[in-house]
DNA sequence: TAAATATAGTTGTTTAAACAACTACAAAGG
DNA sequence: CCTTTGTAGTTGTTTAAACAACTATATTTA
């Protein structure tokens, strides 16, 4: 059978094999360094380290996670004493998410592990080619979101 | 904070945002066409359509899914009457996975939907750039698997 | 202003990822 | 032969993705 001849390898890429491998590598490296975070939890913290006090909806938008996913991620991070929900005074629907001192203090060590993992993932790859990968993935993402 | 400045966009790629979008698009298109498969279930069927009668371990290797994952995917596909487990006569540990008539018959319609989804995802992108993406992702995958 | 509509967040369900621990069987080495 | 080691598959647990259905509050508009 050969229906997917020309696009087969491309499918392998979009299917997420490499993404899964990166996810595993990051998790492994977190554990090696006694950081008990998942990739998704880290992604949330990454937004908060730049933009503390934003709403859950903002976190959803910036991480491409749906709202129920954010609710549960924040639940976990709250249990781990890394973030806190603060109800907004003006709009009672909103919950503003703030970092705890612990949530702030782990930034540096976490980012060292993230950057080392990333550096290892892209070792020996030419920057111009990485640039093409970035641009192409952005275009594919836009193609998928803006349905033809 | 700016620890991840230079690699930030690249992280977005490896984090799987585009992969998730593709996954969603495929699921949506399956549903539109009354195909009740997930992307992962389709991936298993894709191997079987080429290589029927292989072991679960082979499916695990070819789809980068771990063994427990394969057990559960095969459970689902068996419930849907798409595949069957046949114990191997010579090696009692092995279970050979075969397609049912239904599992064989849906190949064509499923592949049409997959190919249309893929075609839409990569529309307006030059083949040479896609080739670079393929090669780079393979290299990143190898970098991650063969730890430095 | 009252009713309709929109937004923010939560809960429940199904499916999958990752990993540890387990059973059953096979192959290799003493 | 039999003990050790390896391989194939299963089960259990935690975390996440996707989606529907829901509550509470805000905004719009008739």
Q: Using one digit for the tens of pLDDT, what is the confidence trace for A41-58?
A: 999 999 999 999 999 999
The H-assigned helical ranges of B1-148 are: 8-14, 17-32, 39-50, 56-63, 67-79, 101-105, 107-121, 127-145
Residues 93-122 of B with CB under 8 A from A: 107-108, 111, 114-115, 118-122
Asked if the model's pLDDT at residue A3 lies above 80, the reply is: no
Q: What angle do CA B53, B56, B57 make, to 5 degrees?
A: 115
Please give the backbone phi and psi of residue B136, each rounded to the nearest 5 degrees, phi first: -65, -40
Domain A16-145 in CATH 3.40.630.30? The answer is no
> In sequence order, which residues have a C-beta less than 8 Å from that of residue B39 and are 6 or more positions away?
A15, B23, B26, B27
Residue A148 is predicted with a pLDDT of 53
User: Cα distance from A95 to chain B (closest Cα, Å)?
Assistant: 24
Residue A113 in tokens: 């592990």
- The whole-chain average pLDDT of chain B stands at 90
Q: Which is more confidently placed, A146 or B143?
A: B143
- The whole-chain average pLDDT of chain A stands at 90
- B76 CA to C19 C1' in angstroms comes to 21
- B122 CA to D2 C1' in angstroms comes to 60
Q: How many CB atoms lie within 10 A of CB B145?
A: 12
The label of the residue with tokens 């709403």 reads A55
Question: Which of A16, A21, A144 comes nearest B144 by C-beta?
Answer: A21
Give just the sign of the alpha carbon dihedral B74, B77, B79, B83.
negative
What DSSP element (H or E) covers A95? strand A95-99
Cα distances (Å, whole numbers) of residue B97 to A144, B37, B50, B103: 33, 18, 12, 11
Q: What CA–CA distance (Å, rounded) separates A132 from B135?
A: 11
Strands B83-87 and B95-99: antiparallel
pLDDT digits (tens, 9 = 90+) for A47-105: 999 999 999 999 999 999 999 999 999 999 999 999 999 999 999 999 999 999 999 99
Task: Give the best residue of A1, A2, A3, A61 to mutate against chain B (max B CB count within 10 A).
Answer: A3
Domain B17-145 in CATH 1.10.10.10? The answer is yes
> In sequence order, which residues have a C-beta less than 8 Å from that of residue A33 and are 6 or more positions away?
A109, A113
pLDDT digits (tens, 9 = 90+) for B8-55: 578 888 878 899 999 999 999 999 999 999 999 999 999 999 999 999
Q: How many CB atoms lie within 10 A of CB A20?
A: 16
Residues 73-92 of B with CB under 8 A from A: none
Mean pLDDT over residues B73-93, rounded?
Answer: 96
């Amino acid at each position: 059978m050969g229906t997917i001849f020309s696009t087969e390898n491309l499918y392998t890429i979009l299917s997420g094999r490499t993404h899964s491998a990166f996810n595993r590598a990051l998790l492994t490296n977190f554990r090696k360094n006694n950081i008990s975070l998942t990739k998704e939890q880290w992604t949330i913290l990454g937004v908060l380290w730049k933009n503390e006090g934003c709403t859950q909806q903002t976190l959803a938008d910036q991480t491409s996670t749906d709202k129920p996913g954010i609710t549960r991620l924040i639940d976990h991070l709250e249990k781990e004493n890394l973030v806190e929900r603060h109800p907004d005074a003006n709009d009672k629907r909103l919950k503003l998410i703030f970092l705890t001192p612990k949530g702030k203090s782990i930034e540096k060590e976490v980012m060292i592990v993230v950057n080392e993992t990333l550096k290892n993932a892209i070792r020996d790859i030419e920057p111009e080619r990485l640039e093409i990968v970035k641009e192409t993935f952005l275009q594919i993402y836009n193609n998928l979101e803006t349905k033809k």
